[in-house]
Amino acid sequence: MDTKLLKIRAALDDTLLQQRVAGAQLAYITTNSPTEGSAAEQLANAVRDNPSQTITNFVTEMVLNPSIQTAIVWDEATSAIDSTAVTDSDIEYVVADRWTAVAERLYGTPATSI
């Protein structure tokens, strides 16, 4: 497997990253009304109904099977690594920062920590 993908997968194991992604999702759910039938609405409902499992699935999906609603996040994260990450320790921070920023764009609200 590509070294970059291994680094991304390692970063996804980081609890802080999961919390930041979850925070963005939960902030969206509590402050916006997703379009009926949209991927955002489905995600919002899933997070509300079963937060921890949804977060795990969402993070896994971003790495193993990027879908339409997560492809932007995947592209942003890998682009950020290509352009800015120069050491292994930078990888986790770049992934977390870029995915938080993209989550804010996708969900329309600033990400918050939980």
- For 52-100, what is each residue's pLDDT tens digit? 555 555 555 544 544 444 544 545 555 554 555 445 555 555 555 665 6
Count the helix, strand and coil residues of the chain and give each as a percent rounded to the nearest 5. Answer: 80, 0, 20
Per-residue confidence (pLDDT) for residue 43, from 0 to 100: 60
Q: Rounded distance, CA 87 to CA 89, Å?
A: 5
- For 29-62, what is each residue's pLDDT tens digit? 555 565 666 655 666 666 667 655 555 555 555 4
Instruction: Decide if pLDDT at 113 tops 50.
Output: no
